Amino acid sequence: MRRVSTDMPNDDMQYRMRRNEAALSSMQSKMASQTRIKELRDDPLAAAHAVRYESYLARLDRFEGNALYARDHFKTADGYLRQAQDVMQRVRELAVQGANGTYAAEDLRYMGVEVNELLKELVSTANAIGPDGKRLFAGDKAFTEPFRIIEGSAAGASETIVTAVEYQGSGGSRRTEVSEGAYSELDIGGGEAFWAEKMQIFSSVDATDWRAAESAAFFVDGVRVDLSAGDTLPAVVAKINDSAAPVKAYVDPVTRGIALEGTSAHLIRLEDARGSSALKELGILKTVSDPSAPAWNATARVSGGSAFDMVLRLRDALYRGDSETAGGQALAGIDLALDNLGSRLAEVGSRQERAEMTWKRVNEAIPDVTANLARESSLDFTKAATDLGMLEFAHKATLQTAAKIIQPTLLDFLR
């Protein structure tokens, strides 16, 4: 026979009421947070899916912002490159005009004065600052003025003028992730955008018997080239040619040293890795650390000028009244600079188009992932409101029933 104590109905009733209150509190909390998963045990599989969707949605939001930034960055760079192209077109018109041989030396000097002003405008454009406060054509040296003007005097000039323009920036190495595992290169360095001729570097050091004493490395346009102990000059040439750098290397048959030539018009950037001196030993770079530009060994022969060098060549020819040079070497250099600017504009335009298409794709994916997340974790308010009403009704009924079932106690008799 089962024994029923006085406390048993009371304990049982309190247990049931606490469960009802817990269910009621859980439903109210879910409605307040608009999610049906408050704890993993509510739905472990849906919780796992929801976490993955939330993580992917956060990445999509970041990709969308990166794509928008890249698109706007390319649009700004495109505008400044077009301004530079307009300036170079005007310089070319003056070169053609000064080359026809019908103008006096004084008239050519006046043209040279205009070319000098256009040169200053070209430098100003190349040193442009974007809306984010960073230099557009300085590479990853975003807060460094990429082109430095050197002033001096020239024949035919009545005042101090620009005699050289040196590049202080670096290659375009900044990039941003615009989709899962896909990156967009943000920058075109000034050494690429404002160059004219294919650069050539010839070492005068006979490296026939040269060998790497130990493992070493150097960088060609930001691409690392590793050397092994015992590597000879032909091995160095082969490794440079096998790398992704836009540079072709070969052995100079005259000096028997290394020779480098750019495959496109750009400033070749060379640097020995830390602890390495291979390029210094081969006679390409200075043997003594010197931060001033250029870094080439004094005995190396370097050719291939920038767009500024071409404009300077034309201006100096006009100052001298030399129409033959203006219509020959100077005009040919201006054409090379214009060709390179056109190529870089096409490159920026293609990057801008890719960023635009990536942004649209990511923008379309966000609603789909949001819908998937809502399916897994969002609360059905119609069902939740019904369940909440049923729980409230059940709780009230439990309290009313408890009042009738629980028997009077000793305290009731002591009133």
Q: List, in order, residues 6 or more apart from 322 with CB less than 8 Å away.
A: 108
Residue found by looking up tokens 């504009």 in the block: 345
CATH of domain 200-303: 3.30.70
Q: Note the pLDDT of residue 152.
A: 78
Q: How many CA atoms lie within 13 A of 338 on its CB side?
A: 16
pLDDT tens per residue, range 30-67: 666 666 666 656 667 766 777 787 888 889 899 999 99
Alpha-carbon distance 407 to 412, whole Å?
A: 10
Domain 53-193+305-365 and domain 200-303, same fold? Reply is no
Q: Note the pLDDT of residue 87.
A: 95
Q: Note the pLDDT of residue 18.
A: 73
The domain covering 53-193+305-365 belongs, at the CATH homologous superfamily level, to f41 fragment of flagellin, N-terminal domain (1.20.1330.10)
Q: Note the pLDDT of residue 33.
A: 60
**Spatial CA neighbour of 168 closest among 189, 136, 192, 146:** 146
Identity of residue 388: L
Q: Other CB atoms closer than 10 Å to residue 237's CB: what's the count?
A: 18
Domains of the chain, by residue range, sit at 53-193+305-365, 200-303
**Greatest extent of the chain over all pairs of C-alpha atoms, in Å:** 132
Alpha-carbon distance 142 to 152, whole Å?
A: 28
Q: How many CA atoms lie within 13 A of 71 on its CB side?
A: 15
CB 207 within 8 A of CB 256: yes
Q: Is 374 exposed, middle or buried (0-12, 13-18, 19+ CB in 10 A)?
A: middle
Q: Note the pLDDT of residue 366.
A: 87
3-state secondary structure of 366: helix
Within 253-330, residue ranges assigned H as helices are 278-281, 307-320, 323-325
Crossing angle for the helix pair 44-98 and 307-320, to the nearest 10 degrees: 10
Q: What is the pLDDT along the chain (415 residues), one digit of tens a residue?
A: 556 566 666 666 667 677 766 666 666 666 666 666 666 566 677 667 777 878 888 898 999 999 999 999 999 999 999 999 999 999 999 999 988 878 888 888 889 889 999 999 999 999 999 888 888 898 878 888 999 988 877 665 667 788 889 888 877 677 888 888 888 888 888 889 999 999 999 999 999 999 998 999 999 988 999 999 999 999 999 999 999 999 999 999 999 999 999 999 999 989 898 888 899 999 999 876 554 445 888 899 999 999 999 999 999 999 988 888 888 889 999 999 999 999 999 999 999 999 999 889 988 888 888 777 666 665 655 666 676 667 666 767 766 666 666 656 655 555 5
Q: Note the pLDDT of residue 379.
A: 60
Within 226-320, residue ranges assigned H as helices are 233-242, 278-281, 307-320
**Spatial CA neighbour of 144 closest among 163, 168, 128, 121:** 168
